[in-house]
Amino acid sequence: MKTQIIGLITLFFALTSHSQNTNIKDETKTTTTTVTNSNGEKTYVKNENTREVQSIELKEEKPNTLNIETKDSPVQVTTTTKITNPDGTTRTVDIDRSSYYILNGRKFNVTAYNNGYRLLSEDKKTTGLLRKTSTNTFIYKNGSKTAIGYFNIKGDLVLENYNPKTDEITYETYKIIKQ
């Protein structure tokens, strides 16, 4: 029994001391935004975590040398964004699409908001809300207008509107402004 316990302890220490052959770099960027309006002051906290993982690969071993050089290997980068709302709820965003967009010569700002995004006009008035669905699209709501939205390959915001009178779908594309 005593031998088995010592054997298990030795095995445990052997497994925990096994080294990993990867370089890992974690970087977190925190942005705090405070919005003051007639309802009071609200603070949003956005944490963007970027993790870079690179496997360590060795070049061929040369005879009569102690050190072996490493060779370049691909780096896998993953980014996650967590947004904490004023009410204390936290949500995770795969890709943050907050940016400036243009439609018909008017400039709009899409910013992360409670459960999706908020579309603001140039004079900082909310012109619509985008709520994420389970199918990686958004429901756009602006007064009486409701549409389905998504971000295309170029990063543009596309809204699909259904017109019941003509039984057709129309498209509005908010072009992203590269900065």
pLDDT digits over 78-88, tens only? 777 777 777 77
pLDDT digits over 107-129, tens only? 988 887 777 888 888 888 888 89
The reply to whether the predicted model has a pTM over 0.75 is no
Residue 173: per-residue pLDDT: 92
CA distance 102 to 96: 18
Residue 10: per-residue pLDDT: 73
pLDDT more than 90, % of the chain: 11
Residue 15 has pLDDT above 70, yes or no: no
